[in-house]
Structure 1
């Protein structure tokens, strides 16, 4: 059996065709990206025959199994434990651990989901650093969005059945193989939407839609400036703007992303250039909407670019993050650069300033019903093929640290985002991050490959 064991594609797991080998951990490669649809290596004839003879029961077992543990195998019988990424303390990448935890069970009004993909957003980086208001105590499992299959239902959870394909918001704990979350934060997904797409869909498109249409009231002929146009929210904003006639989109992004995203916006500028003057050359009166995830000096610039009756919306503060760990200097610099808002000046200039936090809206302010309505509108646009999250590559769960590191040692935001499933991290085009888990456990290599191919299709 040992001689016939094969390496599952991209997963770093060894497992014999008969399940007699234990999965062996492998150190993550610092710069390894796994293509979404890798060409499987040549398989011995006898193993191909064996795969064809695998029963449906085995397939079902894989779908419901927990993952491997770095210290040994976690086969289908180990139903009380799961793998998860745990943040042991606030700080750098060395604070993240892939470990084994007790599997949660749904309480009243909750749904238990077997995670197929989960998202990595800039907020997750800030959580890792402890760079947020009232951070929770560690250790904790990061992550706020995921997609997967309903595995169990708590009481009073009408409308869902075991086996439903769903996406969900979670108040932490998404970077795990199993999550439980309240019914109101779970949404069924279309049959043709993949799990990675669903994980890339919820946070990015809901935030973009609510800022554009619920806060700024985007209409025909308006103009929008969006920072970090190469990020997940930025690309969602661009797609949603294309659903409204005659909307002009100005975007800023790092120069190395321009080629990939140029077609998605009307005018694209380098984030380090004097974009204020560039915008005014094209639109002397300014813009109707500014979507700012940077903060700092960009707040004053954004307010200055607004037309009368224009709306500036702050939905992040990524300028406060400049390295692997929390920087008091970066925080102080960003705070100092924020222009102090004078309400009288807003009144005189007919300008609106607003803030938007989707997670606070969901988990602190009780607006889950409003968000559910927005999700249904977005799914309608998806089914009309007007919007679509873009996925680019897969990453292993153990490589979450690598995915968080950008070219300057900071978070790799705005780069292709990941999708997740069972033990992989994947990146979405022009977004960043999700975690996906590959088929693991005691299963033959050919069948595992087949399932991996099916899940990424």
Structure 2
């Protein structure tokens, strides 16, 4: 079968389209014929060695949408089922293997390209909004990287939760119209977000801040987080460590909560199925949307990575397999 592999860390040129052996499935697993897979920022970090270990040859990719080709002895699925899944060993391939617990059936009305946009970003965002951030209708929330895949989902889910005020933070104002269309009330940039949040809240700050950037953004977020507020930290796209002091949370009664979808997939996969079902329903009913920025052929994975690293896109980047 065809797949995109890498044998070393580096820029997008290390990604090679080649023939590999089709994977073999175990008892509680399924073999999926990939229709589409999404490109996530974690793929870039894995490719460059900032996240992954050097277990070469390596196949990147977190999620797929496709059709089940073969099922293991104890699988609850059947051949021909249309599914989304988190595969075991990457998703930039014609066929992937996934454990039953990380496979979710999708409605017939949901096309594979649309389904491929959301497994990672929407399931993660739903958990962040409802379980970790526990947003309330009276809240002011701040969403960093609001034009990205997860940010786009967080804005829409906050809107569906009838949050009082949604502030989206972006790298430049070229993305303002897009983020407002998703449901943000105010869009600001990293240069001025602290001042903007404090001005809009009469100096009190935001109740919940969603931070996937880290670095200086984390400490700056603490400067505009309200008493009893929550900073939800779930990534470091800046590549830098974020810092806060114990004095930032003690007397102000503020708290910092961390979350990782990868950790949850590994240690508590049972948490994800009910969320996946809810997210599928929201997309089927057209209550959630994630625009497709561009679709590349699998062999053009390097070009997809170049576009992602440029940050000059809105929505989701997909690979057609």
Superposition TM-score, scaled by structure 2 size: 0.94
CA contact (8 A) 1:122 1:413 kept: no
Q: What is the rounded CA distance, in whole Å, between the counterparts of 2:176 and 2:248 in structure 1? A: 36
Q: What is the rounded CA distance, in whole Å, between the counterparts of 1:129 and 1:100 in structure 2? A: 22
Is 1:304 aligned to 2:209, yes or no? no
Unmatched 5+ residue regions in structure 1? 1-81, 321-333, 416-429, 438-457
Q: What is the rounded CA distance, in whole Å, between the counterparts of 1:246 and 1:351 in structure 2? A: 19
Change (3 A) 1:283 1:262: same
Higher relative contact order (CA 8 A, sep 6+): 1
* Structure 2 match to 1:424: none
Is 1:398 aligned to 2:317, yes or no? no
Deviation at 1:214, TM superposition (A): 0.7
CA contact (8 A) 1:241 1:247 kept: no
* Structure 1 match to 2:107: 190
Superposition TM-score, scaled by structure 1 size: 0.67
CA contact (8 A) 1:258 1:268 kept: yes
Q: What is the rounded CA distance, in whole Å, between the counterparts of 1:413 and 1:370 in structure 2? A: 31
* Structure 2 match to 1:281: 199
CA contact (8 A) 2:89 2:96 kept: no
Q: What is the rounded CA distance, in whole Å, between the counterparts of 1:293 and 1:350 in structure 2? A: 22
Size of the aligned set, in residue pairs, is 318
> Does the residue aligned with 2:250 lie in a helix, a strand or coil?
helix
* Structure 2 match to 1:339: 243
Structure with larger Rg: 1
- Counterpart mapping for 1:352-371 below 5 A: 352-363=255-266, 365=267, 367-371=268-272
Q: What is the rounded CA distance, in whole Å, between the counterparts of 2:288 and 2:64 in structure 1? A: 19
CA contact (8 A) 1:232 1:414 kept: no
* Structure 2 match to 1:106: 25
Deviation at 1:345, TM superposition (A): 4.0
Q: What is the rounded CA distance, in whole Å, between the counterparts of 1:399 and 1:85 in structure 2? A: 9
2:89 to 141, 155, 172: 172
Q: What is the rounded CA distance, in whole Å, between the counterparts of 1:374 and 1:247 in structure 2? A: 24
* Structure 2 match to 1:154: 72
2:14 to 82, 91, 95: 95
CA contact (8 A) 1:228 1:414 kept: no
What per-residue deviation string (whole Å, max 9, x for no partner) do you get for residues 413-445 of structure 1?
A: 472xxxxxxxxxxxxxx23422112xxxxxxxx
What per-residue deviation string (whole Å, max 9, x for no partner) do you get for residues 123-151 of structure 1?
A: 0000001001x624121111110100010
> Does the residue aligned with 1:354 lie in a helix, a strand or coil?
strand
Is 1:259 aligned to 2:177, yes or no? yes
Is 1:140 aligned to 2:58, yes or no? yes
- Counterpart mapping for 1:13-412 below 5 A: 82-132=1-51, 135-158=53-76, 160-255=77-172, 256-264=174-182, 265-271=184-190, 273-284=191-202, 285-320=204-239, 334-335=240-241, 338-342=242-246, 344-363=247-266, 365=267, 367-406=268-307, 411-412=309-310
> Does the residue aligned with 2:104 lie in a helix, a strand or coil?
strand
> Does the residue aligned with 2:89 lie in a helix, a strand or coil?
coil
Change (3 A) 1:93 1:384: closer
> Does the residue aligned with 1:362 lie in a helix, a strand or coil?
helix
Deviation at 1:84, TM superposition (A): 0.4
